[in-house]
Structure 1
Amino acid sequence: MVISTTTLIVTMAASPVCSSSPDKYRSQFLSHDEYIELRNSEDKHLHDELASIRCSINNVKRELKADIKELRDNVTTQNQRLGRLEDQTQRLEDQTQRLEDQTQRLEDQTQRLEAEVRQSQAYMRNKGLKNPTLPIRPVVVYRPGHGILEPEPLRFPRNADDFYSLRDPQTDRHRSMLAYLAVFYDVQLRSAGHLPEEESNSDDSDDDEIVLEHPDLVVEKLEDILGLNEDKIIKFKERALQTASRAPSKPIKRSQISWPEAGPIPGPRRQKLELRVTSGQEAYFYDPERPKSVSSEGLTNAHVGWGTRSTPSSQRARLQWSPKVARVSEPPNLEPERPKSASKSTEAESIDTDNDTHVFTNSPER
């Protein structure tokens, strides 16, 4: 900014200047040189201020440019990140869609397999059906987008008699049931070649009318679908009629039972109680100081129980009382045992062996 220096024209006040105070107003006026010097100092001061302001503005501009550049770089980086995130999001959406499609296919396959299993179970159950009064198990169907469908219970035949009565539907219920089953199980008579040529080529004929006009063909197709076997049912009815036509046999009384003449009436064989010595009760019948005989060695694992009579009564052993049993049952003597001479012990053992009769040993026949 350039300030031009002009001559300042100072008009004096209209009031007259008093001669008594000439120095009072002389200080209010500047000379031309003083005015120029004052203006130059002020111009310099203004120039310095403007230069500092201009420098500050330039600094602010540079900072703003740097900030704007940094902001643009950040925005560009964020845009790139957003672009990558959008790509990742798109890939995730594609993967999610593929997973949903795979899950849907797995669900469809699972439902299809479940439908096939249930169809096989119902088919085998109905195939073995013989009694016409027993209920028929409904066969389910699978349709994509709808899943597993079951027929309505009120529009499904209760048993085989009700099903085969659809060959000649006489009531509105049977006609409605036949048409419903043909639609539910998708019975196609035209494509199967069961209809005459003029009926299969006619476009004006309604499917329901075709079903009602040929109920025997529809029942035959439904029989194959449900797994029914009419021959088994017919044979079952024939056997039932034959059984019903026979006279019921009277029950045989016990007095009418004839036994063989030779010999008495056989009765239940009773087991005889046979006492045998167990290993825990061996001390009551044997003296521990006495050596065991050969005949008593086999009674180590003997026990008391029921047994059949294997030997004659004359050859079986007898339980005989021995005085040494009482001595065994008595509490042992606390006095120390005195050593016996070898001759006395041998003599006593020989006497015991000769005179005593052991339990369950065969006594010599006399």
Structure 2
Amino acid sequence: MSSDVTTKAFVKSEIASASASLGAEIASVKSDLRAEIASFKAETMAEFRDVKATLLEIQVTLSEMQVTMRQIDARARNSRLKKPTARIRAVPIFIQGHGAKDPDPSFFPKYADQLYNLRKPQTAHDYQMLADLSEFYDIWDEAADTSQSGGEEVKIDPEHAVELLEGVLGLEEDRFLAFRAKAQQLADQGPPAGEK
């Protein structure tokens, strides 16, 4: 029986030793697994942040491209206008974090004639329109009247401002002048002989 007890004690001791060794191994595997999961989680989160940042950059780029396309379209349409009373299109600007922005319609000329009449503003509304457009299209510094001395409120030169706005909007005054000349020529000729 003593050998049975010794064998049992030995087996128990071996089982306890194996159990402790297995427990330590399991704890080591758990620890390694936790560390790998934490590392994977951190890497995944970093990748996710990178993907999110890339998507935001793509959204901004797409937004900029959409505004650029609208600008090209407006300028192209405006550049084909001949009739001075034809409606001109506003050219949007891109504002970071906002996207496309159009000028205030109450201070945007509807027709080319309205823009060209701003060369000699007559009313407070004309001056306000010229100032708003100069600020909106960021031509204020270029359109400033340089004949002023320091300390005075900076005013813009209407002739130069309209010239700059013409470029921004894609208008070509020569086309309007040619249209007017052709209309005047037709008016001077009178109606065709058969229509009198």
TM-score range for the pair, normalised by the shorter chain length: 0.7 to 0.9
* Whole-Å separation in 2 of the counterparts to 1:155 and 1:119: 18
Tell me which residue corresponds to 2:126: 174
By relative contact order (CA 8 Å, sep 6+), the higher-ranking structure is 2
* Alignment of 1:121 onto 2:73: yes
Q: Displacement of 1:167 after TM fit?
A: 1.6
Instruction: Name which of 90, 96, 101 aligns with 1:144.
Output: 96
Match of 2:178, as an amino acid? K
* Whole-Å separation in 2 of the counterparts to 1:197 and 1:106: 45
Larger Rg: 1
TM-score by length of structure 1 reads: 0.43
Instruction: Name which of 47, 54, 61 aligns with 1:109.
Output: 61
**Partner SS for 1:132:** coil
Q: Displacement of 1:250 after TM fit?
A: 4.4
RMSD: 2.8
Q: Displacement of 1:134 after TM fit?
A: 0.5
Q: Displacement of 1:225 after TM fit?
A: 0.7
Q: Displacement of 1:90 after TM fit?
A: 1.4
Instruction: Name which of 143, 146, 149 aligns with 1:196.
Output: 146
**Partner SS for 2:194:** coil
* Whole-Å separation in 2 of the counterparts to 1:171 and 1:205: 21
* Whole-Å separation in 2 of the counterparts to 1:172 and 1:73: 87
Q: Displacement of 1:80 after TM fit?
A: 3.0
| Structure 2 spans left out of the alignment, 5+ residues | 1-11
Instruction: Name which of 121, 146, 159 aligns with 1:216.
Output: 159
**Partner SS for 1:94:** helix
* Whole-Å separation in 2 of the counterparts to 1:237 and 1:195: 31
Tell me which residue corresponds to 2:9: none
Change (3 A) 1:85 1:197: farther
Deviations 1:49-103 (A, max 9, x none): xxxxxxxxxx9xx97xx67x93x76555434322222211111121112112222
* Alignment of 1:241 onto 2:184: yes
The size of the alignment, in residue pairs, is 178
TM-score by length of structure 2 reads: 0.76
* Whole-Å separation in 1 of the counterparts to 2:30 and 2:132: 64
Q: Displacement of 1:164 after TM fit?
A: 1.2
**Partner SS for 1:167:** coil
**Partner SS for 1:90:** helix
Summarize the alignment of residues 8-23 of structure 1 with structure 2, pairs less than 5 Å apart: none
| Structure 1 spans left out of the alignment, 5+ residues | 1-58, 253-366
Change (3 A) 1:232 1:89: same
Match of 1:183, as an amino acid? E
**Partner SS for 1:223:** helix
Change (3 A) 1:185 1:75: farther
* Alignment of 1:163 onto 2:115: yes
* Alignment of 1:87 onto 2:32: no
* Whole-Å separation in 2 of the counterparts to 1:195 and 1:162: 21
Change (3 A) 1:197 1:224: same
